[in-house]
Structure 1
Amino acid sequence: MRHDQEFQSIPNVVRAAARRFGDAPALVDGDRRLSFRELEDLMLRAVASARTLGIGPGDRVGLCAPNSVEWIVAALAIQGAGGIVVPLNTRFKAPELSYILRTSGARALFAASSFLGTDYTADLERADPGLPALRTTVSLPGEQGRADVTWDRFLDLGTDPATAHEAIDRLTPDHMSDVMFTSGTTGHPKGVVLTHGQSLRAYGWMSGAYGFRASDSFLVIPPFFHCFGYKAGWLASFLHGVTVLPMAVFDAGRALELIERERVSILLGPPTIFHDLLHHPDRPDRDLSSLRVSMTGGSTIAESLIRAMKRDLSFDIVLSAYGLTESTALVTTTRVGDTEETVARTTGRPIPGVEVRLTDAAGKEVPPGADGEILVRGYNVTQGYWDDPDATAAAIDGDGWLHTGDVGHLDPAGNLVIVDRKKEMYIVGGFNAYPAEIEKLLLGCEHIAEVAVVGVPDARMGEVGCAFVVPAPGARPTEADVVAWARAHMANFKVPRHVRFVDALPRNASLKVLKDDLRARYREGEGR
């Protein structure tokens, strides 16, 4: 039986895990250890509390906090009550968060009161005091801050677990589980609608194919607001009885300590994580022999890094995959037994139940080996963008094919090779960065008249942004000025790491900026 049919919903996975794995450890977060049975009890209290708070079927609820036990339980509470989770990037500033909460129509907000020096509720109240989501706010974890209800007080609202069971029983695989916002090339974030069944089917298959087992421990470093940390992370783990260790902020030394102490065996993430672990001074002195399974996503990986991960980090299995939020973040993956060259050079074959085709500009399928736009069709494709039928129609055609905007080709073995990631998009340490969005934000700086952003190579992060800036008349900003302004007005991964000042941006006859010229200028400058 498929996982979507067997478990029905994401909260029901936890109920089933409590029966199957009982007192085995489900979560280890600092000094806290929860068994699967204890996690179920906590989830049921939280579901009952969410219902008491007024969260019901179809309600969208924002969730903005670091990786933690509370993030997982809050998501399960919202979904168990019939609501829809709207995960929020903890690196976003108040205007970015406000846009997503308003667009999704979120009626409540669960948010950290202090993470990296930020009280999200307080910041949102200052930026958008009339925001509907601020009418009901819950702080997690820790202090109350400006929220209406503390986490402990929220849990005290749930006095009748029977109501929680009833609410969870009503959920089906077709119910919406989350609206995950992803920035488009227009610079306007769009909410991707996904269901319980899509995630259960995709990650139930993936975790089985990757060899997850009940004796494993998974240090989840990718953030829970991303499918990588949420669905390929804790959800996939609970399906197989794997112990989850949430990591709020990546620190290579701390990660090495946890791997040794907790006998971590699964570690997924962008290449940046493995690069930092390999080069940390403590690495040679740590016992990493428990490491077993790894998958890199969000960027290309060098063959030399795969070899180093197996040799120096003790991994038996290193895989690569491709996906986008609109496809439940999973389309193709390499398989256990594939060569290091295949893992490094390709993203593998389509997962079962999913089709991939490559087309030219006229929409005709290209021959094997030829480059074309990657189209995806299957159960994993989103129903559409939240409250945006035009964007949905532009992305998914009448035959159900999702037009990814990515360019690639198939090798002779049927493995997908990515040639260009959404043309202009670049990936910073696993995070998708969209130049149009960053440019729009940078134009809010009074010292900038025009700006164009391109992705450029970076040894640690894979790629970072380089902003080519035409200063405003009379202004003489420095590189440090632009970077400082950007850090104050956008998420850290969006902040350009390089700034180049130009008199004018190169444009073609249609006045479109010639970004290939800008990339060439950057390379020439670095060469000199």
Structure 2
Amino acid sequence: MKMREKNLRSQLRPSLPTAVRSSRERGPCDAELRVLRQRIRQEGVRALPPQVAPLVSPGGVEEVAERRALRVELRVDAGLGAAAGPLRRAGVDRAERSFGDREAVVSVHQGVRKTFSQVKEESGLVAAGLLAAGLEPGDRLGIWGPNSYEWFLTQFAAAKAGLILVNINPAYRPSELEYCLNKVGVKGIVCDEKFKTSDGTFRFRDLYEAGESSHRKRVDELSSKIQFDSACSFQYTSGTTGLPKAAVLSHHQIVNNAYHSIGKRIGYGEKPHRICLSVPLYHCLGCVAGTICGMLYGATCVMPSAGFDPDAIVRPLEREKIASCYGTPTMFVDILNSFRKNPTDLSVISTGIMAGAPCPRDLVTAVNELRMKDLIVMYGMTETSPVTFQCFPSDPPEVRSSTIGFPGDHIEVKVVDESEEIVRAGEAGELLVRGYCNFLGYWDDPEKTREIMTQDRWLRTSDLISIQPDGYGHFIGRIKDMVIRGGENIYPAEIENFFLGHPDVIEAQVFGVPDARMGEEVATWIRKAEGSSLSDTELREWCKGKIAHYKVPRYVLFKDEFPRTVTGKIQKFKMREQTIEELNLKA
């Protein structure tokens, strides 16, 4: 890894929305919440009293700042949320005291193993080195590279030094990298050695010895000065429809999301876990659900490879005694295929997380082959730090395979119609979220921030969701993806999930294309299983009697690859453009 300084004149602190506050009392415990959840009625109103919320940041910050937590109402026809247990503080120092010589991180491809004690010591040295290199608290430090121990260590060292870590996808090309650096005024960048393009750099290892006693003392002093609600991470959105935006997250948001919405519910506090991080660290699924969860719960983060490699993931499942495995739906498709070709002992693994994109029911069920009986499906977005809905391991398989779960602790949610009126339970509408998890805003982009955040701090997800009387959510689709064919509303996610039930279909994407008579017609791109001879006629015939006639795609195109962002998200607008051009349709 290399680090080089980049002097830019950008000023810190654009105008960002303030955090929400409310009253303070104690809330119910998990058992009470579960009983209450069972008693929700469609017309009923249940109010949960708010809570005291001790908060602080990761990266060695140990001072507790008490803050009032949100009052959460359980009212299915008007909004829904859950609160259980106080919000948390976390730190590398605390993890070292609690877990000491337990392995904190394993980088299989680098041959690196480090304990929590070693991570605490080395993160402090690197933090001092970053200050010695000329960085100051509040500066933006870019990190541009694949999964590695250096990436893991930099996340906590940057937090200790009061820096804001700018997470940059290693797949970005020079023009994309330049945009990201200039957008937020990056002052220094940590990057993989192969990305070195100029002199004026020095080796990452040199940071261990760069800091003097004065710098190490300053790092210790910062542990009581860094504010819990200060920005600590910039996450670039995927840019599926335009240039990426820099979402600003605070210590408070990512620590508590990792603790309450992820680790606590999945059961990381019940016994030590070893987590296979097959997802990239620059993504929230890696650096919040992975590294921060590990630091909070004493879980070991195992990185099997620098980038996604299904074969490299399957092999360590046995050798590293993996108990939990993370992945997007597409990743799990590839992991399953690799496991089927080269089976291994899976006697230890029991759980994991599937997230990052809509999770098809058939795929969630198929993952049982990996013996992940307690697999958790999560729902969220970068702007909510990231998780807002998640199942419980105790939920029956049919619930975990067909819903996005129950709202996270300390989070309010509501579903509204086009008139901003809250819908009744079971009805579909746009999901809005409010709570500690809502990001601070888009860096230096107040207009885009106002578009997604209402004045009373409800965050618009642009997702169509229905919430049932029991509080569980059902994902219907993206509002912008909805197809209107002859007055009928068609939700692509429903048809995509249906197609995945065909044995020859590996992946399906559905979208609308223009039609003179119907306004829009349904089109689908299909990725077939290897060696399949499936035709469009056979696929349509298979649909008969299973789904409504108007949902059967008029256009079926078989493709080996789909257009994606560098983070792997599907770009349906490009599919639409290509289909219109290929079929000579009039836009």
TM-score of the two chains, using structure 1 as the length reference: 0.75
Please state if 1:9 is matched with 2:62.
no
Task: Give unmatched runs, 5+ long, in structure 1.
Answer: 123-144, 436-453, 461-478, 508-528
Mapped contact 2:336–2:370 kept (Cα < 8 A): yes
Please state if 1:175 is matched with 2:253.
no
State the secondary structure of the residue aligned to 1:417.
Answer: strand
Residue in 2 aligned with 1:41?
Answer: 121
Residues 166-186 of structure 1: CA deviation (Å, up to 9, x unaligned): 223322311111111114565
- The verdict on how the C-alpha distance between 1:281 and 1:25 changes in structure 2, with shifts beyond 3 A counting, is closer
| Amino acid corresponding to residue 9 of structure 1 in structure 2 | P
Q: Distance in 2 between matches of 1:3 and 1:87?
A: 32
Q: Distance in 2 between matches of 1:6 and 1:357?
A: 26
| Amino acid corresponding to residue 236 of structure 2 in structure 1 | F
1:177-192 to 2 correspondence within 5 Å? 177-183=232-238, 186-192=241-247
Mapped contact 1:359–1:372 kept (Cα < 8 A): yes
Residue in 1 aligned with 2:177?
Answer: 97
Q: Distance in 2 between matches of 1:457 and 1:503?
A: 16
Q: Distance in 2 between matches of 1:455 and 1:265?
A: 37
- The verdict on how the C-alpha distance between 1:281 and 1:226 changes in structure 2, with shifts beyond 3 A counting, is closer
- The verdict on how the C-alpha distance between 1:281 and 1:178 changes in structure 2, with shifts beyond 3 A counting, is closer
- The verdict on how the C-alpha distance between 1:361 and 1:10 changes in structure 2, with shifts beyond 3 A counting, is farther
Residue in 1 aligned with 2:331?
Answer: 273
RMSD: 3.1
Residues 233-284 of structure 1: CA deviation (Å, up to 9, x unaligned): 1110111111111232222222121111110111121122332232226666
| Amino acid corresponding to residue 221 of structure 1 in structure 2 | S
State the secondary structure of the residue aligned to 1:394.
Answer: helix
Structure with the bigger percentage of helix: 1
- Give percent identity, aligned residues only: 27
Aligned residue among 212, 221, 229 for 1:166: 221
Residue in 2 aligned with 1:150?
Answer: 203
Number of equivalences:
433
Please state if 1:380 is matched with 2:437.
yes
Q: Which of structures 1 and 2 has the larger relative contact order (alpha carbons within 8 angstroms, sep 6+)?
A: 2
State the secondary structure of the residue aligned to 1:295.
Answer: strand
Please state if 1:201 is matched with 2:249.
no
- The verdict on how the C-alpha distance between 1:313 and 1:503 changes in structure 2, with shifts beyond 3 A counting, is closer
Q: Distance in 1 between matches of 2:129 and 2:228?
A: 23
Aligned residue among 370, 373, 376 for 1:316: 373
Residues 15-65 of structure 1: CA deviation (Å, up to 9, x unaligned): 111111111111111321111111111001001001111111211111111
- The verdict on how the C-alpha distance between 1:493 and 1:358 changes in structure 2, with shifts beyond 3 A counting, is closer
Please state if 1:370 is matched with 2:419.
no
Please state if 1:294 is matched with 2:352.
yes
TM-score of the two chains, using structure 2 as the length reference: 0.68
- The verdict on how the C-alpha distance between 1:8 and 1:77 changes in structure 2, with shifts beyond 3 A counting, is closer
- The verdict on how the C-alpha distance between 1:147 and 1:422 changes in structure 2, with shifts beyond 3 A counting, is farther
Q: Distance in 1 between matches of 2:254 and 2:431?
A: 21
Give 1:151 deviation, angstroms: 0.8
State the secondary structure of the residue aligned to 2:312.
Answer: helix
Residue in 2 aligned with 1:76?
Answer: 156
- The verdict on how the C-alpha distance between 1:315 and 1:185 changes in structure 2, with shifts beyond 3 A counting, is closer
- The verdict on how the C-alpha distance between 1:14 and 1:455 changes in structure 2, with shifts beyond 3 A counting, is farther
Please state if 1:254 is matched with 2:312.
yes
Residue in 2 aligned with 1:107?
Answer: 187
Residues 78-129 of structure 1: CA deviation (Å, up to 9, x unaligned): 2211110110011111111211111111111111122xxxx2x53xxxxxxx
Q: Distance in 1 between matches of 2:395 and 2:567?
A: 37
| Amino acid corresponding to residue 399 of structure 2 in structure 1 | T
Q: Distance in 2 between matches of 1:178 and 1:47?
A: 16
Task: Give unmatched runs, 5+ long, in structure 2.
Answer: 1-25, 27-50, 62-90, 483-491, 497-508, 512-522, 530-556
Q: Distance in 1 between matches of 2:525 and 2:52?
A: 41
